[in-house]
Chain A
Amino acid sequence: MTVSKDGDRVALVGDCHVEEAETLFGVMAEVREVDLTHCRHMHGAVLQVLLSCRPKIVGAPDDPFLAKWVNPTLAALT
């Protein structure tokens, strides 16, 4: 399980695979924030859910690619 929900925050941890996109979308209505700190990679489908639902992003990913290229885009949407 790499999508873990805690109250109104959800954390993506490690490698998030394509099947997690649906799980993530399922909880999107109930969460306000998504924590990417420990996300190593997210599948395109997971990224798509974040881009489409525009939750507030907290935490800068440790992964340099996500931190440099993906996080700013997500942060700019909210």
Chain B
Amino acid sequence: MDDLLKQFLVEGHELVQQASEDLLALERSPGDADLIDSAFRSIHTLKGSVGLFDLGPMSEALHAAEDLLGALRDGSLQQTHPRIDALLASVSQSERWLEALERVGELPSDAVAVGAQLTRQLRAELAGATAQTGAAASAVDTAWVAAFMARQDVRTDSPVVAVRYRPDSQSYFNGDDPLAVVRGVPRLIALEVEAPPADPVNYDAFTCTLAFHLISDAPVDAVRAALRFVADQAEIVPVEPAAAQRPNAGARSLRVDAARIDQLVDLVDELVVAKNGLALVTGVAQAGAEMAEVVARLRETQASIDRIAGGLHRGVMAVRMTPLGPVMRRLPRLVREAAASLGKTVDLSIEGHEVEADKAIADGVFEPLLHILRNAVDHGVEASHARVRAGKPARATVVLRARQRADRVVIEVSDDGRGFDPTAIRAAAARKGLMSDEALSGLDDAQALELIFLPGFSTADGVSDLSGRGVGMDAVRAAVGRMGGQVSLSGAPGVGATVALSLPSTMVMSRIVLVRAGGERFGVAIDDLIETVQVAGDCIVPVRHGRAFVLRDRTIPLLDLADLLGLAGGEDAEGHRKVLIVGSRGEPIGVAVGSIDERLEVALRPLSGLLARAPGVLGTTMMGDGQVLMVLNLTELIG
């Protein structure tokens, strides 16, 4: 990618971000001249940069947005909701285009049509007219594609086609059978269909209220052909495969405070001095000095190299530390879109912009947070009338709060919605057949909450446009777990819910303990362990297919690490067994190992390439003797 484009992408995201923040703030304080000014400047600058590249549709849309903002600024037009919506739509679209540029280096194939529609809408607002509504206006809106793909967890290596088919309300009269149309679409890989709940009194069986979302991996022309008779009711969007890999793709560049680089430079200077110190020692040794003196001087040099190496490590870590603010600031607009699509009003307040975390953590936390926020808006926050009935303000409040706690970053999402209801959660789990009734009734409330993390769980009664099926808290837990973090839930029914993520603020230094299993050496993250115990062989009793032992009046299931890893050589059951107690889903579980050796602080490298998704492995580290050590994620291994 050429340098100019790279620079443009970095700036572009910031400008889009700034404009979007200003526009959202304008909604709260309409007509604020400073905000209009700031939004205008961002859009103006962005438009100028866009002009350097061959990005016609984007340039035209931004030009129209700039003109509209200009009219708001000089007072010739009043600020209205549709005008802010049109501006936000252009900002959102610009962001999607920037992402496409980052991924594939060009605008998507529908950019001309989408851009023209945006421009029309903005120009219509500028002319004081209301923009066309209905099908035309929704042509701009392709946000549903991403939401639908995420909901269905569609990951694909080849292009697919996403379709939103909303049959005309009169289509039954016109002789259409929407389900037969959908049946005719070749090579379906996902389908969602919904209809609003029936009103028992006024139900009209002949007014079509169906809506379909579907994905096909057939060529787009084949999908178009299948839908040719309902072309005016179906939006057909080709989706490039790279879309699924976006989180890792962009934003690998880092902006660093110059002072931090200066510190590193100072340390490197010191390192050079220390290195010269070594030459001095060599000279002294060659001159036939006493061994004791040589050793003393070596010690001195070693001490200073130690100090400098530590400083360098901290310095490099500090360079990678980035405030969470930019990531968190992308969320309000997305929450607003989510709430609007559900007809809810939600205020998102953000605290802790300044809290810093490793770049990889800051980037990696975006998707899980977005997911949790969408869940909060969709499942947590009640409809306005239900809120009023419950004596709450109609506008819901969601708080996103980041805090530094020792060497970890804690990010909480709290809403004032209906909270987690353990009874409803048990009932939903029973309905979905995730657990037997007896097992469910044996769970206390805290354990019932944990059911939310089971794959396939969702308490939603219906499938909404937003976070119905396919998106699970299991995915959130897995993503956070990969960064060495944990997810916890709290809250009271009726009052609200809090989802807290606890993440290491630096990804790189981890405390591990060395263990042996099946004759091999592994690392285990100390954060995973509750304690380590020694259990006498005769205290281990077989329980059905497994084994268990009693620890402080509690029966704890016992697994063998060698078995978990598929290694030969489960240790002998006679003597004492060394057991790691792991907290898995709130339940302690024992994992027997051959031996428990020393504790270390290591630089953990996440797995990459083919191994990136290997389950149960946190990463690797290089040992002092040059061997590579695998560090295990016990919770995932057991899961």
Contacts and interface: CB of A to CB of B under 8 A. Distances in A.
Given A18-B172, A49-B198, A52-B198, A44 B208 contact: yes
A44 B178 contact: yes
Interface string A35-78: 00000011111011101111000000000010001100100111
B91 to A, nearest CB: 35
Contacts of B176: 44
A1 interface: no
Contacts of A45: 172, 177, 205-206, 208
B463 interface: yes
Nearest to B181: A44
B198 A69 contact: no
B288 interface: no
B213 to A, nearest CB: 11
B462 A48 contact: no
B180 A41 contact: yes
Nearest to B212: A44
Given A43-B177, A73-B192, A51 B205 contact: no
B183 interface: yes
A22 to B, nearest CB: 4
A25 B198 contact: yes
B463 A65 contact: no
B463 A48 contact: no
B463 A44 contact: no
A47 B181 CA distance: 13
Most buried by B among A47, A48, A54: A48
B10 interface: no
A29 B180 CA distance: 27
A51 B194 contact: yes
A71 B410 CA distance: 41
A78 B197 CA distance: 12
A15 B136 CA distance: 36
B92 interface: no
B298 to A, nearest CB: 70
Interface in B133-184: 167, 171-172, 176-180, 182-183
Interface residues of A, number: 26
B195 interface: yes
Contacts of A52: 195-198, 203, 209
A3 interface: no
Interface residues of B, number: 31
A12 interface: no
A44 B177 contact: yes
A11 interface: no
Given A48-B209, A52-B196, A18 B203 contact: no
B209 A47 contact: no
Nearest to A25: B205
A48 B205 contact: yes
A34 interface: no
A21 interface: yes
A76 B470 CA distance: 12
A10 B108 CA distance: 49
Interface string B189-202: 00111111110100
A35 to B, nearest CB: 18
A1 to B, nearest CB: 17
Contact of B210 (A51, A65, A69): A51
B474 to A, nearest CB: 17
B469 interface: yes
Interface in B188-241: 188, 191-198, 200, 203, 205-206, 208-210
A45 B210 CA distance: 8
B267 to A, nearest CB: 58
B183 A44 contact: no
B203 to A, nearest CB: 6
Contacts of B182: 69
Nearest to B458: A76
Contacts of B210: 44, 47-48, 51
A55 B210 CA distance: 17
B179 A76 contact: no
A22 B205 contact: yes
A54 B197 contact: yes
B172 to A, nearest CB: 5
A68 to B, nearest CB: 8
Contacts of A48: 195, 205, 208-210
Interface of B: 167, 171-172, 176-180, 182-183, 188, 191-198, 200, 203, 205-206, 208-210, 431, 461-463, 469
Q: Nearest 5 A-B pairs (CB), nearest first?
A: A52-B198, A44-B178, A51-B195, A21-B205, A44-B179
24 contacts: A18-B206, A29-B200, A41-B179, A42-B179, A44-B167, A44-B178, A47-B193, A47-B195, A47-B210, A48-B195, A48-B208, A48-B210, A49-B205, A51-B193, A51-B194, A52-B197, A52-B203, A69-B193, A70-B179, A73-B192, A73-B463, A76-B469, A77-B461, A77-B462
